[in-house]
């Protein structure tokens, strides 16, 4: 992990624990503005120490088994940070959380990463999640959402989206209508994401543990048409449920720029409606609206169950994750009696004094 992100790291460790991992997924963090130290976290009820390094080189040398880096560097420093990480051959995946990364810098990183066989996720992403195994940063939300969406064990459905917020919605929709998520990736909202829909859909197609695929595209760009070509060429044969959000833009007379940098239609073919029509014509399972997406996923899943391509397994409850004291107190779940604390120290064996007054007199006189 690059950066001082204690809350995100603790969230990842809690996810590891609820997935019944034997050891934490996070082995170290690095931050150039502090010295080497160890930081305390929880793994279930057990307190553990995770090393933090000033030098990225020392971090990778000390932990040669680490192949994934998550960088929380800001848009001002993320280019240099990722450039340095790409120098280490052990790295296979880098997740870039920062928004607002200049497009020329992103394209340079894409070229270098492609030449070295490294997968980039982001920029402008919440990351991704592999239920039962690992999650990136704050993906999946709070623990109650993770448990409700059954992300603590793998399902049979893999998805890819641009939006991190909508990926959490997909977790919810898929968990309610199928046996759960196998893997989910939010590629990021910039016009030049580090990895594309195509990269991940092809991975899912080649993974026998994935039985169906969900694609959530959006207005702007033409990446969805590459999926159309894959469907026409029969390179994607698994059931693909797809929907492109942003159809409301067609009903607005002025040009619309949505929240993502790439979410703006600069031509008719970049509109969500045109993409949905093309996906439907190529064989994708496209609902009539986003409200109907869950029903389309449910129908597809039920068909696979009837064909015995998916065989539902008995649900095993996850282990309970202890709640932090501060959070439990904020929710009103616990209470603690008031305590008297003093910093007075006198080890001579005589009665403690406060400003020259015996402590018993202070208490008896109700002075403190």
Q: Which residues are catalytic?
A: 260
d(CA 273, CA 168): 23
Q: Is the peptide bond before 136 cis (omega within 30 degrees of 0)?
A: no
Asked if residues 147 and 175 have their Cβ atoms less than 8 Å apart, the reply is no
Across-strand partners of 159? 184, 214
d(CA 121, CA 68): 11
Contacts of 287 (CB under 8 A, 6+ apart): 241, 243, 293, 295, 296
d(CA 12, CA 216): 25
Start-to-end C-alpha separation, the chain? 47
Paired tokens of 22? 């034997």
In terms of DSSP H, where are the helices of the chain?
A: 6-18, 56-62, 78-85, 103-115, 143-148, 164-177, 197-205, 223-232, 272-281, 293-306, 325-330, 359-364
Asked if residues 128 and 136 have their Cβ atoms less than 8 Å apart, the reply is yes
Torsion of CA 16, 19, 22, 24, to 10 degrees: -10
CA 57 → CA 38, 83, 87, 136, 171, distances in Å? 17, 13, 9, 22, 36
d(CA 247, CA 280): 15
Longest dimension (CA), the chain: 90
Count other C-beta atoms under 10 Å from residue 237's C-beta. Answer: 10
């Amino acid at each position: 992990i690059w950066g001082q992100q204690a809350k995100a790291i603790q969230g990842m460790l809690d996810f590891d624990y609820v997935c019944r991992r034997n050891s934490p997924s996070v082995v170290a963090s690095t931050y150039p503005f502090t010295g080497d130290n160890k930081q305390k976290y929880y793994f279930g009820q057990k307190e553990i120490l995770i090393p933090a390094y000033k030098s990225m080189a020392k971090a990778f040398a000390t932990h040669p088994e680490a192949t994934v880096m998550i960088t929380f560097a800001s848009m001002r420093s993320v280019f240099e940070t990722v450039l340095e990480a790409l120098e280490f051959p052990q790295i296979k995946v880098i997740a870039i959380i920062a928004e607002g990364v200049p497009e020329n810098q992103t394209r340079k990183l894409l070229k270098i990463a492609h030449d070295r066989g490294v997968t980039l996720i982001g920029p402008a992403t919440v990351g991704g999640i592999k239920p039962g195994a690992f999650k990136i940063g704050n993906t999946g939300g709070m623990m109650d959402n993770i448990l409700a969406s059954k992300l603590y064990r793998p399902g049979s459905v893999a998805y890819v989206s641009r939006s991190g917020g909508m990926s959490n919605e997909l977790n919810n929709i898929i968990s309610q209508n199928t046996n759960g998520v196998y893997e989910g990736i939010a590629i990021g909202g910039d016009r030049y994401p580090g990895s594309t829909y195509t990269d991940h859909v092809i991975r899912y197609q080649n993974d026998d543990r994935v039985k169906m695929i969900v694609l959530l595209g959006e207005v702007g760009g033409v990446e969805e048409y590459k999926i159309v070509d894959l469907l026409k060429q029969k390179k994607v044969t698994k059931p693909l449920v797809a929907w492109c959000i942003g159809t409301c833009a067609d009903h607005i007379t002025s040009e619309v720029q949505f929240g993502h940098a790439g979410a703006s239609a600069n031509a008719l073919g970049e509109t969500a409606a045109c993409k949905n029509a093309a996906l439907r014509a190529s064989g994708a399972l496209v609902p009539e609206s986003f409200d109907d997406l869950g029903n389309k996923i449910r129908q597809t899943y039920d068909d696979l169950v009837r064909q015995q391509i998916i065989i539902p397994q008995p649900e095993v409850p996850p282990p309970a994750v202890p709640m932090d004291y501060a959070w439990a107190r904020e929710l009103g779940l616990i209470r603690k009696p008031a305590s008297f604390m003093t910093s007075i120290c006198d080890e001579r064996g005589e009665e403690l004094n406060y400003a020259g007054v015996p402590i018993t007199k202070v208490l008896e006189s109700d002075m403190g």
